[in-house]
Amino acid sequence: EDQVTQSPEALRLQEGESSSLNCSYTVSGLRGLFWYRQDPGKGPEFLFTLYSAGEEKEKERLKATLTKKESFLHITAPKPEDSATYLCAVQAQMNDMRFGAGTRLTVKP
Amino acid sequence: EAQVTQNPRYLITVTGKKLTVTCSQNMNHEYMSWYRQDPGLGLRQIYYSMNVEVTDKGDVPEGYKVSRKEKRNFPLILESPSPNQTSLYFCASSLILKTGLTYEQYFGPGTRLTVT
């Protein structure tokens, strides 16, 4: 069965303290891996799509990378406004979408 | 403004009383999907649709129905709601690229459903 596991469940950082979030997956035929940010009480907001191993995408303080088994979301010098839950999702051969449980990030000033 | 709208935003109902949650998008997206979000379980896909009249089951389709008669609308129907369907529901839509791959999903604001 397809599975997506995110770690850690929660992460507390000081402002400026860089770190990485992990998304490991087991799916039959990965078609795409997606990262979203979700603020409390709101719908997820798109960050990145990665389609093949070795691919990298960057946006401001965030950088997403993809291997054949996992993806990392690297956060460089985070700010308090980066506090949110970060969700990883994979799309497999049948076009269904499977999300991980998310990493809740808190950045303290 | 590009958006996905859901109605109602909040709903409290009783067991067994049929209800429909509407979802509409104004971006001409082919792909539409319904999710439920529960604490500790993340987002789980209920149904998705690749285009008009094409729907498929996601991870947790039991107790739900959908239809896609028009490209912009994708209503979620609970024929006989039960308390275990109390959850936060999100509708989403996405383009399908020429390669057949989907791109970013735009999510609606969510519908908080309570079934007593």
DSSP per residue over B17-76, as a string?
--EEEEEEESS--SEEEEEEEETTTEEEEEEEEEETTEEEE-S--TT-EE--SSTTB--E
Confirm if B115 and B17 have CB atoms less than 8 A apart: no
pLDDT tens digit sequence for A81-90: 999 999 999 9
Of the candidates A84, A101, A60, the one whose C-alpha atom is nearest the C-alpha of residue A11 is A84
Phi, psi angles (nearest 5°) of residue B84: -75, 0
Phi, psi angles (nearest 5°) of residue A43: -75, 155
Window 83-102 of B: residues touching A by CB (8 A cutoff) are: 90, 92, 101-102
Q: Give the pair of three-digit tokens for residue B62.
A: 């039991």
Q: Do A32 and B44 touch (CB under 8 A)?
A: no
Q: Do A49 and B41 touch (CB under 8 A)?
A: no
Window 37-66 of B: residues touching A by CB (8 A cutoff) are: 40-45, 48, 50, 56, 58-59
Residue B96: predicted pLDDT: 87
Report the distance separating Cα A26 and Cα A40, nearest Å: 28
Q: What number of other Cβ atoms are within 10 A of residue A97's Cβ?
A: 26
Confirm if A57 and A66 have CB atoms less than 8 A apart: no
Residue B82: predicted pLDDT: 97
pLDDT tens digit sequence for A37-66: 999 989 999 999 999 999 999 999 999 999
pLDDT tens digit sequence for B12-69: 999 999 999 999 999 999 999 999 999 888 899 999 999 999 999 999 999 999 999 9
Mean pLDDT for A17-43 is 94
Phi, psi angles (nearest 5°) of residue A77: 45, 60
The band of A28, judged by pLDDT with boundaries at 50, 70 and 90, is: confident
Confirm if A25 and A70 have CB atoms less than 8 A apart: yes
Query: Which residues of chain B lie closer than 8 angstroms to A45, CB-CB?
Result: 107
Residue B103: predicted pLDDT: 81
Residue A4: predicted pLDDT: 94
The β-bridge partners of B93 are B32, B106
What is the distance in angstroms between the Cα of A42 and the nearest Cα belonging to chain B?
6
Per DSSP, A80 falls in state G
What is the distance in angstroms between the Cα of B41 and the nearest Cα belonging to chain A?
6
Which one of B25, B51, B104, B112 would you mutate to disrupt binding with A, by most A Cβ within 10 Å of its Cβ? B104
A97 touches chain B (CB under 8 A): yes
Residue A41 class from Cβ within 10 Å (0-12 exposed, 13-18 middle, 19+ buried)? exposed
Place of tokens 């909040």: B10
Confirm if B26 and B111 have CB atoms less than 8 A apart: no
The band of A96, judged by pLDDT with boundaries at 50, 70 and 90, is: confident
The β-bridge partners of A99 are A89
Query: Which residues of chain B lie closer than 8 angstroms to A94, CB-CB?
Result: 56
Q: Do A101 and B40 touch (CB under 8 A)?
A: yes
What is the distance in angstroms between the Cα of A94 and the nearest Cα belonging to chain B?
9
Confirm if A21 and A72 have CB atoms less than 8 A apart: yes
What is the distance in angstroms between the Cα of B93 and the nearest Cα belonging to chain A?
12
